[in-house]
Amino acid sequence: MIALGIDIGGSGIKGALVDTETGQLVSERLRLDTPEPSTPKACIAVIRQIVEELQYQGPIGVGIPGIVIHGTLYSAANIDKGWIGFNAEEGIAQETGCTAVVRNDADVAAVAEHHFGVGHNQMGVVMMFTLGTGIGAAMFVDGRLVPNLELGHLYLRGMKVDAEGYTSERARKEKKLSWQEWGERLNVYFQHIEFLFSPELIIIGGGVSKKHDRFLKYIKTRATVVPAELRNEAGIVGAAVTAVQLFQKR
């Protein structure tokens, strides 16, 4: 089935049509700047623009940086706090005329890797982290998703900022860190994650994953650490797959 996947980020909103049987994009990948301020109304207007440009009617899957329960956001990371308490599924459906399924952005990216990427057929504890404006985190246990982890907001021992403030891609750029300096920060973070959850596989996603050869060598964990196969398209693909799965159940 062909479905529209949308990935809302702190700096950009991306969307494309996806063949949910293969995980392949079957349209151009559209990217528009995230509005400032990134209110629900402003972001949903961008989603509508993507829907109209792709001339699409059908289920829409949306990944968004926040805790999402039954379509309503209970946190908002790197987007406007006006999302908190807002039923995004209803808002998107009203504006676009399409059925909408909204989930945490890291969760849908992990769904894509679980179906089509390096996480396929992996059992045990598999974790995925998207490194970008913030840090998204997701976990599968024996193939079942544990939703709405917010592990980018852990506080590491002795740190005055949370993990996002210390190890995100944004922090690397703002602090002008070398790849080794950033990799060593990631090492501190992932060693703490390993102590808490004992994953067997850690998948690194986000746009920076295409430069994995510059920083993964500084991460020393028992768990295997690998880049996401779907790279920065994982959020779009996973959102579309999630939408189709839930649409077919209704």
User: Residue 173's pLDDT is what?
Assistant: 96
Residues 6 or more apart whose Cβ sits within 8 Å of residue 42 = 35, 80
Pairing between strand 100-104 and 60-64? parallel
Distances (CA, A) of 182 to 175, 190, 217, 219, 233: 10, 12, 11, 10, 23
Condensed to tens digits (0 to 9), the pLDDT of residues 49-68 reads 999 999 999 999 999 999 99
**In the chain, where does the domain assigned CATH 3.30.420.40 lie?**
2-107+233-249, 121-228
Closest to 131 measured CA to CA, from 62, 203, 225, 32? 203
Residue spans of the chain under pLDDT 70: 249-250
**Beta strands at 144-146 and 12-19: parallel, antiparallel or unpaired:** unpaired
What gap in Å lies between CA 8 and CA 105, rounded to an integer? Answer: 8
State the Cα–Cα distance between residues 220 and 124, nearest whole angstrom. 20
pLDDT value of position 250:
63
> How far apart are alpha carbons 32 and 46 in whole angstroms?
7
Half-sphere exposure of 240 (CA within 13 A, CB side): 30
The answer to whether 78 and 64 have CB atoms below 8 angstroms apart is no
Q: What is the pLDDT of residue 56?
A: 97
Q: Which fold has domain 2-107+233-249?
A: Nucleotidyltransferase; domain 5 (3.30.420)
pTM of the full predicted structure? 0.91
Q: For position 162, what pLDDT does the model report? A: 94
Where does 121-228 sit in CATH, by number? 3.30.420.40
d(CA 73, CA 22): 30
- How far, in Å, CA of 210 to CA of 238, rounded? 18
Contact call for residues 71 and 87 (beta carbons, < 8 A): yes
Task: Using CB atoms within 10 Å of the CB of residue 249, give its burial: 0 to 12 exposed, 13 to 18 middle, 19+ buried.
Answer: exposed
From the CA atom positions of the chain, what is the Rg in Å?
17
Report the amino acid identity of residue 222. Answer: R
Are the beta carbons of 56 and 2 closer than 8 angstroms? no
Strands 60-64 and 2-8: parallel
The Cα–Cα gap between 5 and 234 comes to 10
Nearest to 168, CA basis, from 124, 137, 199? 137
